[in-house]
Chain A
Amino acid sequence: MLDVVDLHRRFGGVTALSGVSIAVRQGSITALIGPNGAGKTTAFATIAGFHRPDRGQMRFLGRDITGWRPERIARLGLVRTFQIVQPFGRLSVRDNIAVGAHLHLARRASALTEAEAVARRLGLAADLDKPADTLPIAGRKRLELARALATRPRMLLLDEVMAGLNPAEVAALMPVIREIRDGGVTLLMIEHVMQAVAELAERCIVLAEGRVIATGTVAEVARDPVVVDAYLGEGAAARLADHHAA
């Protein structure tokens, strides 16, 4: 469904992505993980058209989307959320979600109805008339997701929707995400909350220093010494192995 090949992106002298390839199968939940500064959010921003790649190719639904503007990519059905939530602050929750729904609904009334339905799905029904700015962080994360979902995307790029949530909120959001996938939306998610990754993702892609260092099931990558080193520092995997042996 999404095929990213050999993506490169530099910011001045800093190389954020050097040859990242990601393939996501239709109907799957894939997690993109890696230590801070690995280039995960840059990868998302580039795939969604917010950064132009220096090199590499991106295909979505069989079309070459390399160099497309973000709004065009979104209209094709590939929609991102933001790690740092970006609500339309002074608009109500209802109006926020309706902006997403307007992507396929021209009539105001239909978009507002759809917004309400999406809000109910995501547990935001009680907050519909509140200004987005007044929601607590968990609410704003849900709003970010609701707005993206209201566009009726084919695929969502979820950037740390679990971050900043307490364990109860994480537990409440997990079935929602599974439901979205069951509704036919393919998901690629950046996530640090490992409980969520382990329970949701069928496949894991590990990014470190702008490169993909491992792919596989969560169990496979967690055992991979390269991955352990990337998180805990060079040689950590070996030291851990010694420690367990002793």
Chain B
Amino acid sequence: MTRWGARAGPPLLLMLGALPFAFPSGFVLTTATLLLLTAILGQSWNILGGYGGQSSFGHALFYGTGAFTTALLQVRFGWNAWVAAAAAIGAGTLVGAAAGALVFRQGLRGSYFALVTLAFAEIARVLVASFDITGGGFGLLVPLHRGAASFQFSDPRLPYWIAWTVVLAGVLLTIGIERSRFGARLAAVRENEDAARALGIAPVQVKTVCTAISAGLAATAGVLYLQIFLFIDAANGFGVGVSVQALLAPILGGLATPWGALLGALALRLMAEMVHAVAGGLAGIDLALFGVILILILRFAPGGIAGIRLRRDA
């Protein structure tokens, strides 16, 4: 098993953990923070898409639910940021469970599942942009109120380390699923639903639970995004770009591997920044880049970065 991912993952995570000592603030730290958020989003997608075999094209639905719920509760209802964050993660998990139950009960799979999830996210995006309470076309701005009690830190390293801890938790969660009965059932349903049912497994239930877990993690990424940037609008929360990042990170890094999403997020961020440096602020250039990347992976490295072998072994 000379797989890249298992070897490169832990040192990369350690290096990322130490990064704020070298770059206590500024561009590098902000980019690294975004990398961590993409990694969490990618881990979330990997649980459903990689381990569960259900390719969602609308993970923005869960991410946006996290970001908007916590923003709304704070801005419109004056909730404490930490309580709002917990509620938002809960809301994301519930939305995941509801979406999963709805879609899987109808027996939707494959590209139909991808299309329906995309539609859900788009509906949410349009709705959020249409109502004043959710900020309409402007978005929601959380008032600046520095202090640990309001989940806002004057030192940008603290939210970075919180995000880093969530990434670590995401890796451990993934490994935990891999080594559990639930993970075995998930793999069975992914590989062959009829055979799984014949062995006493209820596929709808397994996939719905999986979607809920995945959605909870995506909502966590959304919550962190909001607390770090204190702003969210429809496109940033529910836009297609979010869903594409979510799926591209693990596909690029290595599907159904615990470290794939982190590796993919790193590669994705580096490429996005390079393109940004060359093409400047050309609108939509990163989505175009993501499209090209996806085609290249599917053609040349379907196992992603983690699937690249160091040596040729049987």
Chain A residues with CB under 8 Å of chain B are 48, 50, 69-71, 74-75, 79-82, 86-91, 95, 98-100, 102-103, 105-108, 111, 147-148, 151
Contact = CB atoms under 8 A, between A and B. Distances in A.
Given A98-B184, A108-B184, A111-B184, A90 B198 contact: no
Given A48-B198, A71-B201, A80-B198, A108 B179 contact: yes
A91 B199 CA distance: 15
Nearest to A106: B181
Interface stretch (B33-41, B187-195, B269-277): B187-195
A86 B194 contact: yes
Contacts of B181: 102, 105-108, 111
B83 interface: no
A148 B197 CA distance: 11
Given A88-B187, A95-B184, A71 B200 contact: yes
Contacts of B188: 88, 91, 99
Interface string B114-125: 000000000000
A88 B186 CA distance: 11
B199 A148 contact: yes
A100 B198 CA distance: 9
B198 A99 contact: no
A99 B202 contact: no
B180 interface: yes
Contacts of A91: 187-188, 191
Contacts of A88: 187-188, 191-192, 195-196
Contacts of A108: 179-181, 184
Nearest to B180: A108
A105 to B, nearest CB: 8
Contacts of A107: 181
Contacts of A70: 194, 197-198
Nearest to A107: B181
B196 A79 contact: no
Nearest to A98: B184
Interface in B172-227: 179-181, 184-185, 187-188, 191-192, 194-203
Interface of B: 179-181, 184-185, 187-188, 191-192, 194-203
Contacts of A50: 194, 197-198
B184 A147 contact: no
A71 to B, nearest CB: 5
B302 to A, nearest CB: 13
Given A87-B192, A91-B187, 4 more contacts: A71-B202, A88-B188, A89-B191, A151-B199
A88 B183 CA distance: 13
Given A102-B184, A108-B179, A90 B191 contact: yes
Contacts of A95: 184, 187
A101 B200 CA distance: 10
Contacts of A87: 191-192, 195
Contact of A82 (B195, B200, B202): B195
A139 to B, nearest CB: 16
Contact of B199 (A79, A89, A90, A105): A79
A74 B199 contact: yes
Contacts of A82: 194-195, 198
A79 to B, nearest CB: 6
Nearest to B205: A71
A74 B197 contact: yes
Contacts of B201: 71, 99
Nearest to B199: A100
B258 to A, nearest CB: 15
A75 B191 contact: no
13 contacts: A48-B198, A50-B197, A50-B198, A71-B200, A71-B202, A79-B199, A87-B192, A99-B187, A107-B181, A108-B184, A111-B181, A148-B198, A148-B199
B192 to A, nearest CB: 5
A135 to B, nearest CB: 14
Nearest to A147: B199
A100 B192 CA distance: 13
A89 B198 contact: no
A99 B194 contact: no
B192 A89 contact: yes
A148 B202 CA distance: 16
A71 B179 contact: no
